């Protein structure tokens, strides 16, 4: 079923990445977020949370996660070779990836192979992941941060993390959940 198909898809190279632009308030595209995709031959497009859940449950998340990191870094290197400079690449990490002892080495290897500066890569975790296993997560994030990569917390405000709690994590970016910003009045007067 899907768990078997995922293993086969990984071997056959059926996964691919799409890149969602990250736009500055001034309209300038400052980076992209790599998004995992799988167009299953029978079921069509499989939602990324389903892909990740299956990969985690079947102990295939390391292989899949490593592929995403290397593929995304390769794409950024290609864009840089084409003249695109000062551009950031964001890659999502799952909770199981943060538990992998070799995650730091995988990221360092992808940076080296593709001749990327660490600050060009941002690794994203969700607020829920940050809360799931804070000591192990903090250790892994600290190792990754020591490489020089940026660390982002996505969907901030959906869980129970306080701003004070964030100080313990080596976070360079906090992406506030849209539900917290939708009701803000853009015409605030002084």
What is the DSSP track for 71-130? HHHHHHHHHHHTT--S-EEEEE--HHHHH-TTHHHHHHHHHHHTT--GGGEEEEEEHHHH
Using left for φ > 0, alpha for ψ between -120 and 50, and beta otherwise, residue 86 falls in left
Query: What pLDDT is stored for residue 165 in this prediction?
Result: 54
Q: Mean of the pLDDT values across residues 165-189?
A: 55
pLDDT in the model for residue 155: 56
Q: So what's the pLDDT on residue 37?
A: 97
**pTM metric for this prediction:** 0.83
The pLDDT of residue 24 is: 83
How confident is residue 140, by pLDDT bands cut at 50, 70 and 90? confident
């Amino acid at each position: 079923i899907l768990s078997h198909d995922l293993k086969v898809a990984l071997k056959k190279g059926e996964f691919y990445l799409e890149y969602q632009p990250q736009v500055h308030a001034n309209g300038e595209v400052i980076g992209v977020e790599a998004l995992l995709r799988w167009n299953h031959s029978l079921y069509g497009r499989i939602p990324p949370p389903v892909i990740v859940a299956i990969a985690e449950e079947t102990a295939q998340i390391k292989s899949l996660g490593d592929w995403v990191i290397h593929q995304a870094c390769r794409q950024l290197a290609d864009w840089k070779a084409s003249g695109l400079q000062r551009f950031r690449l964001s890659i999502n990490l799952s909770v199981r990836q943060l538990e992998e002892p070799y995650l730091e080495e995988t990221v360092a290897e992808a940076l080296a192979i593709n001749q990327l500066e660490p600050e060009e890569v941002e690794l994203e975790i969700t607020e829920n992941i940050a809360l799931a296993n804070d000591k192990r997560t903090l250790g892994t994030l600290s190792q990754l941060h020591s490489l020089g990569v940026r660390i982002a917390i996505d969907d901030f405000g959906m869980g129970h993390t306080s701003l004070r709690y964030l100080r313990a994590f080596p976070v360079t970016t906090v992406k506030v959940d849209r539900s917290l910003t939708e009701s803000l009045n853009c015409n605030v007067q002084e």
